[in-house]
Structure 1
Amino acid sequence: MTTATAPRAAARVVDAVKVYGGGDTAVRALDAVDVSFPAGRFTAIMGPSGSGKSTLMHCAAGLDTLTSGAAYIGDTELGALDDRRLTLLRRDRVGFVFQAFNLVPTLTVAENITLPLDLAGRHGDREWIDALIDVVGLRDRLHHRPSELSGGQQQRVAVARAFAGRPDVVFADEPTGNLDSRSGAEVLGLLGSAVREMDRTVVMVTHDPVAAGHADEVLFLADGRLVDRMEAPTADRVLDRLKAFEVRT
């Protein structure tokens, strides 16, 4: 008889609590949340406005600190690190894609992709970066600057930059929020390809059921708590689940 082992967690939070403010005005953004983000998977986080989904991502990624509980990247507890070590961990083991592309306008596409590595004084794996450029379809744009690219192309640069250092996990916060539907679908396809073809891990916060339909699993938050999860989501199933939340509230 074989015993199934749980997949390795690229990131996780344990009994995570986040409180903003104090006294009568305190807001409990996360309320005893336990979540594991498996390595090699594409996980989406959804929920109504104010549900805690962005707070969860920021705390799991080390961009914000928990009031209590613990957050881990791999086996490293973020709360045990001083500011310098936390900064190095985010630089070396975590990638980020945001709604705003955050490209440096004076740098070329190639220079923007390798910027985090250059700032760290690392050459990176040139073979990996070369393959990544082909995955995101930017081979013919490497010498262009951001102003010469469409919004979708700029976000593709941001995706390539996030994966360039081969981080343990990439966190994406509304990565298609500034894109039209076609460009958004291309970026979501790239994130999915990175997971399935390059064995990467992606955690994405989104309000869009279509975007969530690209993930392997969707986690639903409400009032700072994990209230449901959905394997193999589709846009229609996610939308129905969100409508159920609205009826309940």
Structure 2
Amino acid sequence: MTITTEPTTETSTFAPPQTGAPAAGFAASATDAVKTYGRGDAAVHALDGVTVGFERNRFTAIMGPSGSGKSTLMQAVAGLDTLTSGSVAIGGVELSSLNDKQLTRMRRDKIGFIFQSFNLVPTLTARENILLPLDLAGRKVDRDWLDHVVSTVGMGERLRHRPTELSGGQQQRVAVARALVSRPEIVFGDEPTGNLDSRAGAEVLSFLRTAVRELDQTVVMVTHDPIAASYADRIVFLADGRIVDEMLSPTPDSVLDRMKRFEY
């Protein structure tokens, strides 16, 4: 891994907060997060003391070379993996303070997930897939909110179709709606446009952008794509398990320029 040291551009606000806790009021945060695989000389530090906060009602992208720790960070903050040391919190609640049942409820009620592979149930219609989290939780449907979410992602006329009858972009729109329907504290996307062509990917990213702007949602997305990252309000760059840079109001060109400092 090589990181150059030329001065950052005006879009960077990076000041490495590698110790202490992030300020209060974040939708999610990690404090001194360490994730180590193996022991002794074979130990690999996927996360090496990361402290970061994800602000409410903002769209944040996480970028970095392969093996930089970006997916590990997202999985830890989303409660899908545990840390070796340090802490993560959702809505001010430290996940380490929860038992397995409480953590499952937290993931179900407070967190939305969008995966690269869509993860739709093939035997269910689009509408049934969208409502699946509420059905599993035994929660009533807020029909006004459902209509609003479906309208936002543009799937109102395809709700009776099964996944095999939908394009990849339409399937991912259904996945976005499913992530939003329970009004989660935060939505995590793991390369959500990785299996889509550029047009479908742009549509899904526009929907995520709209969800932040119009539905007051908070989105954190892992991506390697500078165009996808440019839809975010903020980009956090990782390398070797540490935050090494940050960018606000990114554009595709500014992201590409910043990526030249790393060996991708």
Q: TM-score, with normalisation over the residues of structure 2?
A: 0.90
Letter aligned with residue 57 of structure 1: M
Q: Contact 1:115–1:161 (CA<8 Å) still a contact in 2? A: yes
Deviation at 1:85, TM superposition (A): 0.5
Aligned-residue sequence identity (percent) comes to: 67
2:185 paired with 1:185: no
> Deviation at 1:124?
3.1
Q: Provide the C-alpha distance between the structure 2 equivalents of 1:123 and 1:15, rounded to a whole number of angstroms.
A: 38
CA contact under 8 A between 1:54 and 1:205: conserved in structure 2? yes
- List aligned pairs for 1:219-238, cutoff 5 A: 219-238=236-255
* 3-state DSSP of counterpart to 2:172: helix
Q: Give the AA of the match of 1:241.
A: R
SS in 1 for 2:157: helix
1:9-20 mapped onto 2 (5 Å cutoff):
9-20=26-37
SS of the residue 2:260 aligns to? helix
Q: In 1, distance between residues paired with 2:98 and 2:143?
A: 30
What's 1:52 paired with? 69
**Is 1:38 matched up with 2:55?**
yes
Q: Distance in 1 between matches of 2:142 and 2:191?
A: 28
Letter in 1 for 2:159: L
Q: Alignment partner for residue 191 of structure 2, among 155, 169, 174? A: 174
Equivalent residue number for residue 209 of structure 1: 226
Deviations 1:176-195 (A, max 9, x none): 00000000000000000000
* One-letter amino acid matched to 1:163: L
Distance across 2 between alignment mates of 1:165 and 1:81 = 21
Partners of 2:78 and 2:39 lie apart in 1 by 24
- Alpha-carbon distance between aligned partners in 1 of 2:29 and 2:141, rounded to the nearest angstrom: 26
Contact 2:226 2:256 in 1 (8 A): yes
User: Structure 1 stretches of 5 or more lacking a match?
Assistant: 1-5
Higher helix share: 1
CA contact (8 A) 2:27 2:185 kept: yes
2:261 match: 244
Q: Where in structure 2 are the equivalents of 1:79-118 lying within 5 Å?
A: 79-118=96-135
Deviations 1:68-102 (Å, cap 9, x if unpaired)? 00000011000111111000000000000010000
Instruction: After TM superposition, list the pairs within 5 Å mapping 1:133-212 onto structure 2.
Output: 133-212=150-229
Once residues 148 and 68 of structure 2 are traced to their aligned partners in structure 1, the CA distance between those partners, rounded to angstroms, is 38
- Contact persistence 1:7–1:38 (CA under 8 A): no
2:129 match: secondary structure:
helix
Structure 2, gaps ≥5 residues long: 1-22
Residue identity opposite 2:76 in structure 1: C
Counterpart CA distance in 2 for 1:156 and 1:172 is 12
Count of residues in correspondence between the two structures: 242
Q: Distance in 1 between matches of 2:259 and 2:68?
A: 12
1:145 Cα shift? Answer: 0.4
1:30 and 1:40 map into 2 onto residues whose CA distance is 26
| Equivalent residues of 1:7, 1:39 under 8 A apart | no
Distance across 2 between alignment mates of 1:20 and 1:60:
17
Aligned Cα RMSD in Å? 1.0
